[in-house]
Amino acid sequence: MTVTPMHCSDHHFLSFTFSLTALPINASPLGSSFSRRNLHSISHSSLASTILTTLPHPDSFLSLSLDTATDKLLSSLSSAVNLLSPLSSRPARSSPPAPWLTEVLRSNRKELRKAERKWRRKWRKSQLDSDLHSYQALLYKFSTEVTAAKSSFYKEKLEESASDPRWLFRIFSSLLKPPSPPPSSSLTPEDFVTFFEEKVNKIHEVLQLLKSSNPTTCPLDPIPSTLFQTVSMDLLPFITFIMNSMMTRSHQARSQLHSRLPEWSQF
């Protein structure tokens, strides 16, 4: 591996080479199992109390350095989630292919996806309409063929089950897919009180920023963003201290940069 510093930036360019071993043809595909957490089993109170037990007292936390405080908060978040909802591996379910998807349709679908990639790749550069027209024509053709294949498949199934009401009902149920009943919309006085209590809590600036942020999560996060938002009120003193320390450090670094600009202008 080679590391090349970039000019006028704190980033580095990494270049490396490695070999990949090809899987045998009859090998099981990747993703035969997956790891997951049962996050729905974690309650707000248990998560907040578990995190707070691993954190120092707020007065002691405020005396820590920014890096130490951040590491302690992140480790507390990840350890609490691992304790309350450990990772469990389950085999992946391989859904069977659609019964009406013939080899001809599979081939046409490959051509359709190829045309779509070609249109999207060239559209960013030249924005030609010819590739778009070709993709739209293949899309219309494939949609028509799929509709005809589905109609033919279910027509044959209905004809075979004409004398069996039970199978007829199953086929109609799988086609219609009736929706589940809607949840109860009754509003209780407790709902009113809870709504206004949460509204008052959101007035705080830091808490409002956390609540209004888009709860996107990546694998590097110590805890899912949705869970972090639920316990943000309990962790508000710790989060506020880290945010203020980060802004203070950024302001100091910017002041040092401006003070050194006259020196750099001589070069």
User: What is residue 71's predicted lDDT score, i.e. its pLDDT?
Assistant: 92
- What separation in angstroms does the CA of 20 have from each of 17, 23, 144? 10, 9, 41
Contact between residue 161 and residue 168 where contact means Cβ atoms under 8 Å apart: yes
Instruction: Kindly state the tokens that stand for 194.
Output: 């809870």
Please report, as a single letter, which amino acid is at residue 97.
Answer: P
**What gap in Å lies between CA 68 and CA 60, rounded to an integer?**
12
Which residue is it, tokens 């002041």? 255
User: What is residue 246's predicted lDDT score, i.e. its pLDDT?
Assistant: 86
Q: Where are the domains of the chain?
A: 43-77+201-214+221-239, 103-160
264 pLDDT above the threshold of 50: no
For the entire predicted model, the pTM comes to 0.46
Contact between residue 142 and residue 109 where contact means Cβ atoms under 8 Å apart: yes
Q: Which of 206, 237, 227 is nearest to 78 (CA)?
A: 227
Give the tens place of pLDDT for each residue, 95-135: 677 887 888 888 888 888 888 888 777 655 555 677 788 88
**What gap in Å lies between CA 179 and CA 60, rounded to an integer?**
54
Give the tens place of pLDDT for each residue, 177-203: 666 666 666 767 777 777 767 655 544
Give the residue, 220 or 113, on which the prediction is more confident: 113
